[in-house]
Amino acid sequence: MVLRLEVGNIFIKDVQFGEQAKVVDGILYVNKDELAVVAADDERVASVEVYLAKPGEETRIIPVKDVLEPRVKVEGDGGILPGFISDVEQVGSGRTHVLKGAAVVTTGRIVGFQEGIIDMSGPGAEYTPFSKTLNIVLKVEPIEGLNQWQHEAVVRMAGFRAGTYLGKLGKELVPDEVKVYETKPLIEQAAQYPDLPKVAYVYMLQSQGLLHDTYFYGVDVKKIVPTFMYPTEVFDGAIASGNCVSACDKNPSYVHMNSPVIEELYARHGKDINFMGCVITNENVTLADKERSSSMTAKLIEFMGVDAVIISEEGFGNPDADLVMNCNKISKKGIKTILITDEYAGQDGGSQSLADSTPAGDAVITAGNANQLITLPPMSNVIGYPEVADMIAGGTDGSLAPDGSITAEIQVITGATNELGFGYLSARTY
């Protein structure tokens, strides 16, 4: 089965509130009350408030739970966010339209301790890719008496419903740009460019315990074993975020839908590599589970017959062991590995960067040091609850100053050290 997906990008230049939800001349008009009703379609939701946050404004969103891009299935099997919004059918083929430049951001009372901050201007804006998107912000409040994982589900699904509702506004529009992605079955793919090195991607998904959840076709990946995935599936939302890991290196649903690793591999496919496909794997708590998943991952990669593999991590600390095990076992099969991670090297940069390491990890890309300290100036408009700056990961008691400024590690900023490379930090050689 050849999976060929057309992604039609409808460039959004501005977002405004209006009486009718529609897209006209690149402007996304949002009916605030209608969107709130759609997002709140759950008896566990007490209230939903809708705000707009645009690049350059003196606006802070805190705490950020998830970010989602509005998309709609136009042709082909399944729909967006299979297992949550659409039926559990194979996705990744046909045609999908995207409201490119718009994003749905969820906030509200804190769910876990590892949620984030998006500043739309100032120094914090330079660390998050979501300071450049036109954000439709949902402040979602659940009813009393829910536990943390129920609270997370309420906020997550409110965002999914809102993103789907807005995405449908682009279904009948003519895209400004259409990109085409295609992956053939394994034997055909290998034969397509026989003289180019065959490359695969090991896509590690956060799944370590309560509130560390990532979903594949609606299933918590704690419950799966490593498996093959056509790369086009991610563009239709086959992978969705539900986790509360540190904001700097979590992958919001928006990032999965726009996976820069997959985008880059497709861009180089047929030029200097033959992109064979993806293996998704979970990140585990126990040693036995880590050994099991890494062994299965290495077996699948060997079966694909590739020459090299890119491995990306999500999170830090305990998942470093999963990253190293994947690296070691794949390297022992004679397959070159390239690792993508970030670092927790202390505020002075002098501490050990990773919790685990290996001599086989001789090609490593870093997304930056999450312990780097930053002061975020006060903002005239705050959506959410600024007081959580004292308790989210990267902040400490006293991070929030009386004037509204926040001094904390860049760990608090959504996407600051994203391990798929969806961010702005880079390195220079002098």
Three-state secondary structure string covering the chain: CCEEEEEEEEECCEEEECCCCEEECCEEEECHHHHHHHHCCCCCEEEEEEEEECCCCCEEEEEEEEEECCEEEEECCCCCCECCCECCCCCCCEEEEEEECEEEEEECCCCCCCCEEEECCCHHHHCCHHHCCEEEEEEEEECCCCCHHHHHHHHHHHHHHHHHHHHHHHCCCCCCEEEEEEECCHHHHHHHCCCCCEEEEEEEECCCCCCCCEEECCEEHHHCCCEEECHHHHHHCCEEECCCCCCCCCCCHHHHHCCHHHHHHHHHECCCEEEEEEEEEECCCCHHHHHHHHHHHHHHHHHHCCCEEEEECCCCCHHHHHHHHHHHHHHCCCCEEEEEEEECCCCCCCCCCCCCCCCCCCCEEEEEECCCEEEECCCCEEEECHHHHHCCECECCCCECCCCCEEEEHHHECCCCCCCCCCCCCCCCC
Which residues are known catalytic residues? Answer: 244
Domain membership flag for residue 429: no
Nearest CA-CA partner of 251 in 400, 421, 394:
421
Q: Which residues contact 54 (CB under 8 A, 6 or more apart)?
A: 14, 15, 120, 134, 135
User: Cβ distance 202 to 309 under 8 Å?
Assistant: yes
Domain membership flag for residue 247: yes
Domain membership flag for residue 418: no
Domain membership flag for residue 428: no
Domain membership flag for residue 403: yes
Our count of domains for the chain comes to 1
User: What does the alpha-carbon distance between residue 263 and residue 7 come to, in Å, rounded to a whole number?
Assistant: 12
187 is in which domain, residue-wise? Answer: 3-412
pLDDT at 408: 97
User: What does the alpha-carbon distance between residue 264 and residue 339 come to, in Å, rounded to a whole number?
Assistant: 15
pLDDT at 429: 66
Domain membership flag for residue 267: yes
Q: Please give the chain's pLDDT, 430 residues, in tens.
A: 789 999 999 999 999 999 999 999 999 999 999 999 999 999 999 999 999 999 999 999 999 999 999 999 999 989 999 999 999 999 999 999 999 999 999 999 988 888 999 999 999 999 999 999 999 999 999 999 999 999 999 999 999 999 999 999 999 999 999 999 999 999 999 999 999 999 999 999 999 877 889 999 999 999 999 999 999 999 999 999 998 789 999 999 999 999 999 999 999 999 999 999 999 999 999 999 999 999 999 999 999 999 999 999 998 888 899 999 999 999 999 999 999 999 998 898 888 888 888 899 899 999 999 999 999 999 999 999 999 999 999 999 999 999 999 999 999 999 999 999 998 887 666 6
pLDDT at 430: 65
Domain membership flag for residue 75: yes
Q: Please tell me the pTM assigned to this model.
A: 0.95
Domain membership flag for residue 421: no
